A and B are shown apart, each in its own frame.
Chain A
Amino acid sequence: MSEPTSTNTPKPSSSVKLVLLGEAAVGKSSLVLRFVNNDFQENKEPTIGAAFLTQKCSLPTRTIKFEIWDTAGQERFASLAPMYYRNAQAALVVYDMTKPSSLTKAKHWVAELQRQASPGIVIALVGNKLDLTNEGSNEAAGESTPAEGGEDEATNDENQAEEATPGDARKVSTQEANAYAEEENLLFFETSAKTGVNVAEVFTAIANAIPESSLKTGRGAGTGQATLGGGRPAEDTRVNLGERAAATPKEGCAC
């Protein structure tokens, strides 16, 4: 895909294999499309099979090249999923916050990943379609875990309020999903692929969460120069990134 837009100093670059899983029509492809092309398509046709995309994500100290497997959510493709999450360093398990059954499905995926995928896999639980809820494009919604959740439903300006549905279509509360995410030690975000809220943040947080040890260095780039601490990300890093990305979502990653 595109060459890195950050042409300043050459940073160490490593590729991260990421897989998106979740029920059909929760917005997996839309999240990817927003992340990769900063684009959104209403009524997008269902993905068939799986799509493979790449996108670079520029962190302060290094560049992460995401190799993204955007899988189809239909049940008949479920048997192919192992092919995509095998060796994956990260997974985005997506549910639709207006559809409780999709969270159930997401939990199944998380369980399967924890059972079958590589042990160090970083899993992010993502509730999509925030634009359909009262919080709308509220930027505060969906902090990265295990930070505080549950304050989201407390008012919030609907700054870009051009929502089709004035009512609140939310069926899955932030607390519920957040509690589950905390329990399972997952990153947690609530996003809107339509408005772009929190989308870049998800990927940035994942990039930061990848243990240094599991990073394979991309071709040409040096090894082990990243100065960020390994293992699970330090709290401050995440917060920082969140703020930065929220301010300039398009710069957060090389979209």
Chain B
Amino acid sequence: MDRHVQGQASSGDNGDDPKNNPTGPHPGIYSTKCNSQDPSVSSEEQRPPLPPRPNTLNLLDERQTAQSNLQAKATTAVSLTEIESQQIPDTVPNRGLPETLRARTSLSQIGSSKASETGDSMSIRSSIPNTDVGEVENVFNDFIATEPGAVHQDSTGLLLFPEFRADDVEDDFVSEFESVGEVDEHGENEELILERWKAKKKHYLILSAAGKPIWTRHGDGGLISTYIGVIQTIISFYEDAKDPLSSFTAGDTKFLVLTKGPLYLVAISQLLESDNQLRLQLEALYMQILSTLTLPSLTHLFSVRPSTDLKRPLQGTESLLSTLADSFTKGSPTTLLSALECLKIRKAHRQTISNALLKAKVNSLLYGLVVAGGRLVSVVRPKKHSLHPGDLQLLFNMIFEAEGVKAGGGESWIPVCLPGFNSTGYLYMYVSFLDLRDETSNAPDEDTTKEESVAIILISTNKESFFELQEMRNTLVEQLEKTKSIKIIKAAVDKGRPNTTDIVPGTVLHHFLYKSKANVQFTMSSFDPDFSSISRRRRLMSTYNNLHTSIHAKHTHVKVHYCVSQSATSFAWVTPMFELYCVSGPNANRNALAQSASKIVQWVQKEEERLFIIGGAIF
């Protein structure tokens, strides 16, 4: 629970912020923000004005109002007059992403620049899970009248423009991940380096409560020691007052602080991310540290010596933290949805692979996984232990994103703590990559990309079981070859994710994310061709972040969220069974969009057993 205050530090975990007037829109409402005023969307029909807003809002947020003047008014397909009436609640910087929205607030928020009063009816109707096209169409009936105005603009703009000001990074977003370089001996280039450091959109800092820098994504401890000092002072000031600092915003930069025992983790973001999303990212970084050290040894180090320099024990894992951090900065559906993705193959084929795993299983095995480029192919696990997406995310990051394991060129034997499974001890992980190329070729494949590499991951509690698991791997691979499973995996990997048009021919949708809540898994369409570039993809993820935040705002009961902007039309639909997020061009027809969304859901449900691992193999 964070309070969101602009321009000044907010502290405390107190969710009952008196400033959050339950009857009025939260000042941090951002989600309706659109970047331009589109002349084509003038009013087709007058809508009744929304209830009056409490005036106190203005007082709360002078800054935001001022800032908003710099931005274009919202574009919606509703009516201009209404847009104007929404000026106040709308005048919130993108950065908002409040978490303390009240139900009513958020509903009126939806109404504010998009769906208006339909927001209510939508949420009620769609709360009953359904995949019936007709009903979905019904839900959107209210919109039809407003549609024509928006259609005749050529919809070239699919996230061609930054949807959010923070994403206006088309050219330099790649440099976000470049090193800032090192200060030379005489410190002559220090200013330049600092300049580069400051230009980064996203920073992560990890420091000890005593103020020792532990890890930073950009720059080294020496370069930014003064900043570390400042942040430590601010955090400990609130800590001393027993009112821990959790987040604050300065200008368009959000600072989020996570205190975990002796560690402070700080995220500094100029990207569109909510407090909650940033917190999840910091939690994952903390899990990575636990995964290296285990909780007891972390606690022990600091209880023996509070001034411990954790850099040494963490030596060699900096790149794991960095690749993890970069995956967040690039935008990670796994983290956003807290779910995993599977490789789409036929149910029978998956069954064959699972059976091979079960057949090859040795006594010391705890978990066995076949994973293709971070996508699960098959899992076997003991009945009483499930797998935690957070743990697997750490493993996949280590194996597929960071180079350390793969570059070794052989089989790996890695002690690793899976904090979700048990944060107090190590497990031992056997990793071997499958050679998907020509079966006769024995040379390790150097050209396979991350997406294409297939790993066999066997986890045991016994640190001596390497050779046993190696034997299991050999048996398994033999079996997989015999059943042609390797070819099947390769074909599925080569095929990649489907395009939206493969699923719904001629659809207006350009991309979607679908999370199956029961399976804690998600599936999505291909990033190509619209979102191949890293900056486009970042914008897409910002749009999803935005949708996700709106629809998950606390105390809201929104089930459908529809958002129109200059560069994209986006849509979220949440039921007890699934969450669907999709994005189409800026002037997509609402009906078409709703129909497509519905067809996507039908498709996913039809293909469910191919897209997801349901149950998995248990021993």
* Contact present for A50 and B413 (CB under 8 Å): yes
Residues of chain B with a CB closer than 8 A to A1's CB? 410, 442
* Contact present for A74 and B415 (CB under 8 Å): no
Q: Which of B146-154, B398-406, B514-522 interfaces with chain A?
A: B398-406
* Contact present for A48 and B404 (CB under 8 Å): yes
A164 close to B (CB within 8 Å):
no
Given known contacts A76-B293, A83-B463, A29 and B415 CB-to-CB distance under 8 angstroms: no
A-B pairs, 9 with minimum CB distance: A49-B414, A53-B410, A51-B408, A46-B316, A45-B404, A45-B403, A74-B316, A52-B411, A51-B410
- Chain A: minimal CB distance from B177 (Å): 15
Give the contacts of B310-324 with A (CB-CB under 8 A).
312-313, 315-317, 319-320
Residues of chain B with a CB closer than 8 A to A68's CB? 410
A80 close to B (CB within 8 Å):
yes
Q: A49-B412, A51-B408, A52-B410 are in contact. List 12 more A-B contacts (CB 8 A).
A: A1-B410, A2-B443, A24-B316, A33-B409, A39-B409, A41-B407, A45-B404, A46-B404, A52-B412, A52-B470, A68-B410, A72-B316
Residues of chain A with a CB closer than 8 A to B191's CB? none
Which of B402, B407, B415 is close to A49, meaning CB atoms less than 8 Å apart? B415
A48 CA / B406 CA spacing, docked (Å): 10
Some 20 contacts from A to B, beta carbons below 8 A apart, are A29-B408, A32-B409, A33-B409, A46-B319, A48-B320, A48-B404, A49-B412, A49-B413, A49-B414, A49-B415, A51-B408, A51-B410, A52-B410, A53-B408, A53-B409, A53-B411, A76-B292, A76-B315, A77-B415, A83-B463
- Chain A: minimal CB distance from B415 (Å): 6
A236 close to B (CB within 8 Å):
no
B444 close to A (CB within 8 Å):
yes
Residues of chain A with a CB closer than 8 A to B466's CB? 52
Q: Which of A32, A53, A76, A77 has the most CB of B within 10 A?
A: A76
* Contact present for B313 and A76 (CB under 8 Å): yes
- Chain B: minimal CB distance from A34 (Å): 11
Give the contacts of B139-185 with A (CB-CB under 8 A).
none
Given known contacts A1-B442, A37-B444, A45-B402, A74 and B315 CB-to-CB distance under 8 angstroms: yes
* Contact present for B409 and A44 (CB under 8 Å): no
Residues of chain B with a CB closer than 8 A to A3's CB? 442
Give the contacts of B442-460 with A (CB-CB under 8 A).
442-444
B464 close to A (CB within 8 Å):
yes
A183 close to B (CB within 8 Å):
no
A53 CA / B413 CA spacing, docked (Å): 11
- Interface magnitude class on chain A: 20 to 34
A32 CA / B413 CA spacing, docked (Å): 16
Residues of chain B with a CB closer than 8 A to A83's CB? 463-464
Task: Identify the closest chain A residue to B443 (Cβ).
Answer: A2
A53 CA / B412 CA spacing, docked (Å): 9
A190 close to B (CB within 8 Å):
no
A173 close to B (CB within 8 Å):
no
* Contact present for A36 and B413 (CB under 8 Å): no
A153 CA / B512 CA spacing, docked (Å): 65
A162 CA / B429 CA spacing, docked (Å): 40
Residues of chain B with a CB closer than 8 A to A75's CB? 312-313, 315
* Contact present for A50 and B412 (CB under 8 Å): yes
A114 close to B (CB within 8 Å):
no
Give the contacts of B272-326 with A (CB-CB under 8 A).
292-293, 312-313, 315-317, 319-320
Chain B, residues 421-444, CB within 8 Å of chain A (1/0): the string is 000000001000000000000111
A24 CA / B317 CA spacing, docked (Å): 12
- Chain A: minimal CB distance from B404 (Å): 4
A8 CA / B442 CA spacing, docked (Å): 20
- Chain A: minimal CB distance from B459 (Å): 12
Residues of chain B with a CB closer than 8 A to A80's CB? 415, 463
Residues of chain A with a CB closer than 8 A to B463's CB? 80, 83
A156 close to B (CB within 8 Å):
no
- Chain B: minimal CB distance from A87 (Å): 11
Q: Which of A3, A36, A52, A75 has the most CB of B within 10 A?
A: A52
A182 CA / B405 CA spacing, docked (Å): 36
Give the contacts of B200-257 with A (CB-CB under 8 A).
none
Chain A, residues 82-115, CB within 8 Å of chain B (1/0): the string is 0100000000000000000000000000000000
Task: Identify the closest chain A residue to B415 (Cβ).
Answer: A49
Task: Identify the closest chain A residue to B398 (Cβ).
Answer: A48
A24 CA / B313 CA spacing, docked (Å): 12
A135 close to B (CB within 8 Å):
no
- Chain A: minimal CB distance from B378 (Å): 23
A47 close to B (CB within 8 Å):
yes
Task: Identify the closest chain A residue to B313 (Cβ).
Answer: A76
Task: Identify the closest chain B residue to A2 (Cβ).
Answer: B442
A68 CA / B411 CA spacing, docked (Å): 10
Residues of chain A with a CB closer than 8 A to B464's CB? 83
A70 close to B (CB within 8 Å):
yes
Task: Identify the closest chain B residue to A86 (Cβ).
Answer: B464
- Chain B: minimal CB distance from A103 (Å): 19
Which of A36, A50, A77 is close to B409, meaning CB atoms less than 8 Å apart? A36
